[in-house]
Amino acid sequence: MARKFLYLVAILIMLALAAAFAYRYFGAEILRQTMVPRVGFKAQAKTGTGAYASAGMWVARPDKPGNPALWTPPGYKPAADPEAALFFIHPTTFLRGSAWNAPLDDKEANARTDLFLRGQASAFNAVGAIWAPRYRQATFGAFLTDEKAAGQALDLAYGDVESAFDEFLKEVGPDRPIILAGHSQGALHLARLLKDRVAGKPLAKRIVAAYVVGWPVSKTADLPEMGLPECETADQSGCILSWQTFAEPADPSLIFDTFDKSDGFTGAPRKGTELICTNPLTGNAGDSAPASSNLGSLYPSSDLRSADIMAGKVPAHCGGRGILLIGTPPEVGQYVLPGNNYHVFDYSLFWANIRADAARRLKAFDAGAAK
């Protein structure tokens, strides 16, 4: 019996190794086969601006009880009366392939959204009153294919974001400084929002900074149409930050395979173009910083209900076409994507530095407004 048990253990180990090998070398294709919906796109009406007058249409807003964006790790607390207003667009949290867009009342997706707001939007709660809308986000599989339905799903999601943004502007008034932030799908919608609603508009003068994180922004094919320049230095305001995090060795093909097939906001091909890479540890473009510069990364508990903040653990430098490299893979949980892609942790690895960055840019914005 003992020998049979050992044989079973050996077989299980071999199966686990085989699964790890398959994921390592064929992870992108496995994701496509399992996550891209095999159903048709379902057209739906755009959610009107008036719908976002209801608190139920927001994951976070200043007057909503249980606001997950007000969470902070030990040693930090949100501002009682923050100067700026922040519009935050959450990342993809609908993972099923049963539909191209998430229902607004999907419990699993909404629970994940709360978690992401705690680990991402919370970085800004010392300087901004946070507004984060619910929207009919495109499912994760929409980012793994160039099918027409994927574009339709993203257009539907963006329509909701645009309606929410109109309500946000109405609520915060005509003069308050604004910070814009998003992650992943949220950053994609934010990039489009900058092009459609900020570029060339008076609103651009109110933007402290736009954190387009976890989505590639081409310096030549996208940036010229987005209304704000790249943030080149840490004390600059009215500019765009962006990064995508990879441990080494990095394989960003899962991102570039789709991105390089598309044209940018200027109409020029994105293929092979250099991306904006802001180093979140320094706030500068394209530079390098050791782990000692990291003021604090969030390390979640096993149940994801809490997190500890630890300084000096994760370095960062920009490399390649403009991806953010963090060296040896840190042990922060099981949600690392193929290619050593730490996409899920784009904010949490640099949480305290992002918090300091937002405060610094708001100070620079105020100094410029006072002149």
28-46 pLDDT per residue, tens:
555 666 678 777 788 898 8
Instruction: Report the sign of the C-alpha dihedral through residues 60, 63, 68, 70, in that order.
Output: positive
HSE toward the beta carbon, residue 347, CA cutoff 13 A: 26
CA 76 to chain centre: 22
Contacts for 45-52: CB closer than 8 Å, 24+ residues apart: 46/156, 46/159, 46/160, 46/163, 47/135, 47/136, 47/159, 47/160, 47/163, 48/163, 49/163, 49/166, 49/167, 49/170, 50/167, 51/163, 52/133, 52/163, 52/164, 52/166, 52/167, 52/168
Return phi, psi of residue 278, to 5°: -90, 130
Q: Which two tokens stand for residue 348?
A: 């949490």
User: So what's the pLDDT on residue 338?
Assistant: 85
CA dist 137 and 93 (Å) reads: 8
pLDDT at site 29: 59
Three-state secondary structure call for residue 202: helix
Say how far apart CA 175 and CA 172 lie, in whole Å: 8
How confident is the model over 126-131, as a mean pLDDT? 98
The pLDDT assigned to 109 comes to 94
Share of the chain above pLDDT 90, in %: 75
Please, what's the b/e burial string for 292-314 (b: 16 or more CB within 10 A of its CB; e: otherwise)? Answer: ebbbbbbbbeeeeeebebeeebb
Q: pLDDT band at 49, cuts 50/70/90? A: confident
Q: Which amino acid is at 308?
A: D
Tokens of 224: 């010229």
Q: Is the confidence at residue 282, as pLDDT, over 70?
A: yes
Say yes or no to pLDDT of 8 above 80.
no
Taking each helix axis from N to C end, the angle separating 185-193 and 148-172, rounded to the nearest 10 degrees, works out to: 70
3-state secondary structure of 43: coil
301 has a pLDDT exceeding 90: no
pTM above 0.75, yes or no: yes
